[in-house]
Chains A and B, each alone.
Chain A
């Protein structure tokens, strides 16, 4: 258990809006171990980005606020820290890679300045040391001609390059955890592969833990050690990659896997979508958030929240189907042919 550098327990985070309180994250618990890649997967609005930004307290507060739970980084509570205390963690302890490199870099500042900025107000590096470190990191993330790029502005770089710069910013302070929020969604497939390889390389080299947020199960399968599947602000299922893909227990996870198009899928064959829409987080359902869209839903599902059922040391599934009285069904029904 000493391996855990980040422990999140019963995290609840909401936003006050004109329409009422949106409960974005409802009772999420997980931990991150040293040197692992933890995937968080789920559809838009399931709370995965908000969860990850809670860790660095990047959600705007207000209107956002913590309703409960705890986030412990190396044993230190994050939720009660002031903005000033958070500054010591941001950038140097935990780095963040944002979704869209096109808009996540300041257009009026050179690449070099933006990377070096991580050191502003921390330690006493000379200007020369900062520059050397920035160039070193640019080289590390595979940017050619770092000396030239250092003085360039973001608009002079390609999308893949910008994402590398984003990674450089996240990495330059030598953080123990990198949170990558859909780092490749806005890039094309070949660049995506390069960026993902780069992240894995960095993990192997520096034993950095990575929290990888994505909605692409392919990326999860390729990169991650463990996976959280989030739905409606809660964790539906978590486990190792193999458990999630081969011993799928939650109908939602099964739905995600079924809706992937594979090379074997013929043109005539229809993809299997998950019918319906995600729950309204203004008024979250009192039972399982997925009940309304679940083909296996039982009366209890819309009445009471399912408990976490531990299926193995890592594998936990929040679904009433795991209850001892529940009928035994195969959530992966229809997928057997492909195996």
Chain B
């Protein structure tokens, strides 16, 4: 198991390195630069370039950047001259992370429960209701979902605040809006997987042992059915995180989404890189956790002994 984890960690580090390198050069390939403002004089532009080190050879810049990155230093933003990328991240990330985690918790717990209930009631009305919810959830995009939630729960019924992020009641609508798609897909996958597992021979074996129906479902069916859900959790985290861009602007939440979009528009090299490296590392980390979790749940994945 230790060897398996070590291998996963190694692969993750290489992935992040490749990601940062590619984005570093790709950002430079974009037309224009960070100091495109026509109001700036040529000398001012040169001075700024020299100040940020953009006049040095590309490869030297790259090495310097990597060196700083290892120390966790993302450099200065060119758009917000007095602030480091680290500052910006530190200010915005807690909002995005908080929202993301809430959305994920909602999505996974409700998705699993809905999927299980749906599968256990296969073919009857309860199943139908959950299937409709799932189809609705997977086919409605998040900006419409968010707007619908605002319309009904905030404006019409006044149950929750419509925007901003200042306390628990503020978090509910954006979390549901962000997590609904994931909730629906988790529930669909769990339902399908439950129905597949119940056909397996080992379920019959379990029944032949004379154990309770609950135990058969819990220990034999759900445990095996949950595998495909764990597999999609990695990409799911990605979906939830990218979803924050839309939901954050819809609910006026001061998260990272806003900076990310702006950084690309402004050719703010260090902010683009910082955001990408940060998101990338986060995603790779999530995938790594999923891989390790997979090994914990399914003994067959534990390659190379214990």
Q: How far is the CA of A96 from the CA of B210 in the complex (A)?
A: 11
Minimal beta-carbon separation of A63 from chain B (angstroms): 11
Residues of B within 8 A of A88 (CB): 210
Report B-chain residues with C-beta under 8 Å of the C-beta of A173: 209-210
- Check A232 for interface membership: any CB of B closer than 8 A: no
- Chain B 194-217 near chain A by CB (<8 Å), digits 1 or 0: 000000111011111111110100
Is B151 at the interface (CB under 8 A from chain A)? no
Are B224 and A108 closer than 8 Å at their CB atoms?
yes
Kindly identify, within residues 67 to 103 of chain A, every residue whose CB is under 8 Å from any CB belonging to chain B: 83, 86-92, 95-96, 98-100, 103
| B298 and A89 within 8 A (CB) | no
* A58→B207 contact, CB < 8 A: yes
Min CB–CB distance B213 → chain A (angstroms): 7
- Among the stretches A40-48, A115-123, A132-140, A255-263, the one at the interface with B is A115-123
Q: Chain A binding site: helix, strand, loop or mixed by DSSP? A: loop
B205 and A106 form a contact (CB under 8 A): yes
Shortest Cβ distance from B202 into A: residue: A106
Nearest chain B CB to A211 CB, angstrom units: 13
Give the interface size class of chain A. 20 to 34
Chain B: interface residue total (CB-CB under 8 A) = 22
Taking a contact as CB atoms under 8 Å apart, the answer to whether A118 and B209 are in contact is yes
Interface flag for A177 (CB, 8 Å): no
Check B79 for interface membership: any CB of A closer than 8 A. no
Residue A158 CB within 8 A of the other chain: no
Q: Chain A contacts of B212 at CB under 8 A?
A: 87, 120-121
Question: Is the beta-carbon distance between B299 and A104 smaller than 8 angstroms?
Answer: no
Chain B residue at minimum C-beta to C-beta distance from A179? B208
Residues of B contacting A114 in the complex (Cβ-Cβ under 8 angstroms): 205
In the complex formed, the residue of A with least CB distance to B215 is A120
User: Quick check: B207 and A98 within 8 Å, CB to CB?
Assistant: no
B298 nearest in chain A by CB position: A108
Is B299's CB under 8 angstroms from A153's CB? yes
A91 and B300 form a contact (CB under 8 A): no
B297 contacts across to A, CB distance below 8 A: 108
> Which residues of B approach A to under 8 Å, CB–CB?
200-202, 204-213, 215, 219-220, 223-224, 297-300
A-B contacts, 25 of them at CB < 8 A, read A58-B208, A87-B211, A88-B210, A89-B210, A90-B210, A91-B208, A91-B211, A98-B201, A99-B201, A103-B202, A104-B205, A106-B224, A107-B298, A107-B300, A109-B223, A114-B205, A117-B206, A117-B215, A118-B210, A120-B211, A120-B212, A122-B210, A153-B299, A155-B299, A173-B210
Residues in A lying within 8 Å of B, measured CB to CB: 56, 58, 83, 86-92, 95-96, 98-100, 103-109, 114, 117-118, 120-122, 153, 155, 166, 169-170, 173
